[in-house]
Amino acid sequence: MSAAQISSDDVGMRPAGGKRRRGRGRLAALVVAILVAAGVGVVVTDPFGVRTKATPIPSASSTGLARVTRGTLSARTLENGTLGYAGDYQVVNKAEGTVTRLPAVGQVVGQGRVLYRVDGKPVVLLSGIVPVYRNLYWGMEGVDVRQLNAALVALGYATKDELDPGSDYFGRQTYYALEKLQDDVGLDETGQLTLGQAVFVPAKQIRITKVVEVRGGSMVAGGVILHASSTTRQVTVTLSASQQSDVAVGDKVTISLPNGRTAPGVVSEVGKVATKSDDSTTIDVRITPSKPKQTGRLDQAPVQVSIVTDTVKNVLSVPVNALLALAGGGYAVEVVEAGGAHRLIPVKPGLFDGSAGKVEVTGDGLADGQSIVVPAS
């Protein structure tokens, strides 16, 4: 009786019935077609007709032994990605005059620091989602006032007891705190935030990615002066839109870096709007490194990402090459009994763990610790 073992390169198994999957893994039935196309033999008789009779099964090739094990398996998908920084901000200038100072590309600027200068006067970076569009002074109210209050408290110019960072009112404490900020950066201490003295960006720190203007150039209010990102490390993976359901927020990943090292991460965003090109439709998947320092400082660096798309716990598994494809359909493993006798046990493949080279299996008579036949290494 001849049989063909299946290698991990041949197949990604469908999960066993009853367990939830997100459409991951290839159809196990494809393996039979692959084996037949390759001219490899499969079991051609019914090995399950008399399962109580244990008889030796001769092998045409050298074999070894492995064990059935119980534990946790994870399915993964390997994709190409780009390592860089999250966010893409356009900084719009509101001051008019001559540009006298600009930051350098790659420079990191924090909240409360001078970002650039116009006519020698500083323009301060503050954190907020609403762009500055008016003068702010005592008695005013609004979302822009609230983010100014939050920034002043975050910078230590007032305590939370003195100034509520969630307040949208410009009161006495906002006035005093703003005076302190203006004194620190070299602005006139007016207690009023004049249009053009600050820019709001939705990040506590930014990294300059492109400078549009040049020193000595004339600035007009409303023009983009520079582009920036956050300092948060991020990997972007472009997937086929058909794979959207294969990945979910919270999936764990392993990032393979250009220096040969790896770093852990987690899927933080799965795109919902597809981008169509001439020959494909894709979505972007964002990944946040769990240990960003391990990713270094490279920007726009090519990386590979192994995404854990599903996990099963407390299941029986065998090496993928222990599976026997049967001519009549289905799979089996060849168990070696304590006395040396061999018998086939029909199994149903489940989750395929490519990194471990194992596959989840279920079948009557299969147990943890059993010896099974595998091709000799």
Does 2 fall in a domain?
no
Mean pLDDT of 20-24: 45
Mean pLDDT of 59-71: 83
Last residue of a domain, one of 229, 261, 289: 229
> Which of 11-25, 205-219, 309-323 is the least confident region?
11-25
Name the residue type at position 349: P
Does 170 fall in a domain?
yes
Q: Give the domain CATH number at 98.
A: 1.10.101.10
* Same domain assignment for residues 194 and 247: no
* Residue ranges making up the domain that contains 295: 78-85+232-309
The secondary structure of residue 145, as a DSSP letter, is: H
Q: Reply yes or no on whether the pLDDT at 24 is more than 60.
A: no
Q: Reply yes or no on whether the pLDDT at 5 is more than 70.
A: no
Mean pLDDT of 65-71: 96
Q: Reply yes or no on whether the pLDDT at 239 is more than 70.
A: yes
CA distances from 341 to 50, 108, 136, 279 (A): 14, 69, 87, 56
Does 24 fall in a domain?
no
| pLDDT on residue 4 | 52
| pLDDT on residue 339 | 87
Q: List beta partners, residue 99.
A: 118
Q: Reply yes or no on whether the pLDDT at 271 is more than 80.
A: yes
* Same domain assignment for residues 255 and 216: no
Q: Reply yes or no on whether the pLDDT at 325 is more than 50.
A: yes
Mean pLDDT of 28-56: 39
Q: What is the pLDDT of residues 115-150, one digit of tens each?
A: 999 999 999 999 999 999 999 999 999 999 999 999
**CA–CA separation, 341 and 89 (whole Å):** 69
Return the closest-CA partner of residue 30 out of 38, 18, 19, 20: 38
- Split into its structural domains, the chain has a count of 3
Last residue of a domain, one of 207, 229, 251: 229
Q: Reply yes or no on whether the pLDDT at 114 is more than 70.
A: yes
* Same domain assignment for residues 236 and 276: yes
Per-chain mean pLDDT for the chain: 86
Q: Give the domain CATH number at 293.
A: 2.40.30.170
* Same domain assignment for residues 115 and 39: no
Mean pLDDT of 178-182: 98
Q: Reply yes or no on whether the pLDDT at 175 is more than 60.
A: yes
Q: Reply yes or no on whether the pLDDT at 310 is more than 90.
A: no
Does 281 fall in a domain?
yes
Does 360 fall in a domain?
yes
- pLDDT-based confidence at residue 23 (cuts at 50, 70, 90): very low
* 47-55: Cβ within 8 A, 24+ apart: 47/1, 47/326, 47/332, 47/344, 48/332, 48/344, 48/346, 51/343, 51/344, 51/345, 51/365, 53/343, 54/337, 54/341, 54/342, 54/343, 55/341, 55/342, 55/343
* Same domain assignment for residues 212 and 96: yes
* Same domain assignment for residues 220 and 159: yes
* Same domain assignment for residues 116 and 220: yes
Does 18 fall in a domain?
no
* Same domain assignment for residues 177 and 187: yes
* Same domain assignment for residues 125 and 157: yes
| pLDDT on residue 194 | 97
Q: Is 290 exposed, middle or buried (0-12, 13-18, 19+ CB in 10 A)?
A: middle
* Same domain assignment for residues 280 and 200: no
Q: Give the domain CATH number at 344.
A: 2.40.420.20
Last residue of a domain, one of 229, 246, 280: 229
Mean pLDDT of 67-84: 93
| pLDDT on residue 61 | 60
